[in-house]
Amino acid sequence: DAGITQSPRHKVTETGTPVTLRCHQTENHRYMYWYRQDPGHGLRLIHYSYGVKDTDKGEVSDGYSVSRSKTEDFLLTLESATSSQTSVYFCAISNAGGAGYTFGSGTRLTVV
């Protein structure tokens, strides 16, 4: 996925621990998004950013926080991981025209 990198690709963590996922882009796109993908639910928006330090909630934001201190990085933090947050997390970027997203390769998170 040219221009967008997610890390880590896989993570197993224990219930109650904080977890941070990183999304890094080299496209200088304004918009960045975090989605989670679960069977039967498609892709659901967690949080998004429309500029440095400008973020807003999506439809499933409870238990998650985000930060964007520079254009290229968008961090997703699970403040206290729960088993219900076991999922595949995708970051996406979009330019100002919003013609479409470019997705990262995803992070598979397992909370045990």
Partner 1 sequence: QQQVKQSPQSLIVQKGGISIINCAYENTAFDYFPWYQQFPGKGPALLIAIRPDVSEKKEGRFTISFNKSAKQFSLHIMDSQPGDSATYFCAARGLSKAAGNKLTFGGGTRVLVKP
Report how far residue 40's alpha carbon sits from residue 20's, in angstroms, rounded to the nearest whole number: 25
64 belongs to the binding site for partner 1 (CB under 8 A): no
87 belongs to the binding site for partner 1 (CB under 8 A): no
Judged by CB under 8 A, the residue of 20, 22, 24, 58 near partner 1 is 58
Report how far residue 67's alpha carbon sits from residue 53's, in angstroms, rounded to the nearest whole number: 7
Q: Is 83 helix (H, G, I), strand (E, B) or coil?
A: helix
31 belongs to the binding site for partner 1 (CB under 8 A): yes
8 belongs to the binding site for partner 1 (CB under 8 A): no
100 belongs to the binding site for partner 1 (CB under 8 A): yes
Q: Is 82 helix (H, G, I), strand (E, B) or coil?
A: coil
77/102 with CB nearer partner 1: 102
Report how far residue 19's alpha carbon sits from residue 21's, in angstroms, rounded to the nearest whole number: 7
Q: Are 15 and 112 in contact (CB under 8 A)?
A: yes
50 belongs to the binding site for partner 1 (CB under 8 A): yes
Binding site for partner 1 (CB under 8 A): 1, 31, 33, 35, 40-45, 48, 50, 56, 58-59, 90, 92, 94, 98-106
